[in-house]
């Protein structure tokens, strides 16, 4: 009563089933590069008033203070990650973003005109992501 030829199994596919399968394959295929791009961050680029203030490798731990119109923004690099530890801005968005380690991640302290961006070996096709 059971026949096992591949053709027998393929016969279960209705035309729309192939479409759904194709859509699922495409979706999965697209999801890999989409969700895995960027990769590990290599360097932190700190900008002040739009100009590169300093470019630092993530593998060396250090702290630095970046002067801005409101005061000093404090940036910490440790364990291959970087974050804005303190900022004089009123809303603290860049501080609350926490540790950044993936290429493409960025913390922007707009009031103090300081930004901290992580870049990898390859240039990311976007300059920021928001969810």
Partner 1 sequence: MTPSITELKVDTDDVRVARLAAAAVGLSLMDAAIPMPLPGIKPGLANIVTLLVLARYGWRTAAWVSGLRVVASALLLGQFLAPGFFLSLAGALTSLAALGIARWLPPRWFGPISWSLIASFAHIAGQLLLARLWLIPHDSLFRLAPIFMLAALVFGVLNGLVACRLLREVLGEKPESRAG
Taking phi over 0 as left and psi of -120 to 50 as alpha, with beta for the rest, 39 belongs to left
- Positive or negative, the CA dihedral 58, 97, 63, 49 is positive
Please identify, using beta-carbon distances, which residue of 74 and 97 lies nearer to partner 1: 97
Site string for partner 1, 31-70 (x = CB under 8 A): xx--xx----------------------------------
Compute the distance between CA of residue 119 and CA of residue 95 in angstroms, rounded to an integer: 19
Residue 7 engages partner 1 in binding (rule: CB under 8 A): no
Please identify, using beta-carbon distances, which residue of 20 and 85 lies nearer to partner 1: 20
Q: Of residues 5, 14, 44, 111, which one binds partner 1 by CB under 8 A?
A: 14
Q: Of residues 21, 52, 54, 85, which one binds partner 1 by CB under 8 A?
A: 21
Instruction: Annotate 28-55 with DSSP letters as a single string.
Output: HHHHHHHHH-S-B--EEEEEETTEEEEE
Only one of the segments 17-25, 48-56, 85-93, 115-123 lies at the binding site for partner 1 (rule: CB under 8 A); that segment is: 17-25
Residue 124 to residues 25, 27, 58, 101, 115, Cα–Cα distance (Å) = 25, 21, 17, 14, 17
Please report, as ranges, the residues that interact with partner 1 according to CB under 8 A.
Answer: 1-2, 9, 11-17, 20-21, 24-25, 27-28, 31-32, 35-36, 102, 131
């Amino acid at each position: 009563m059971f026949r096992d030829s591949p053709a027998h199994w393929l016969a279960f596919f209705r035309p729309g089933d192939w479409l759904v399968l194709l859509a699922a394959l495409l979706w999965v295929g697209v999801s890999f590069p989409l969700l895995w791009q960027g990769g590990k961050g290599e360097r932190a680029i700190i900008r002040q008033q739009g100009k590169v203030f300093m470019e630092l490798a993530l593998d060396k731990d250090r702290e630095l203070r970046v002067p801005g119109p409101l005061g000093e923004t404090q940036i910490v690099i440790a364990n291959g990650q970087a974050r804005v530890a303190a900022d004089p801005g009123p809303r603290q968005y860049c501080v609350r973003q926490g540790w950044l380690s993936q290429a493409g991640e960025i913390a922007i302290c707009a009031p103090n005109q300081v930004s901290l961006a992580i870049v990898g070996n390859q240039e990311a096709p976007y300059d920021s992501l928001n969810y």
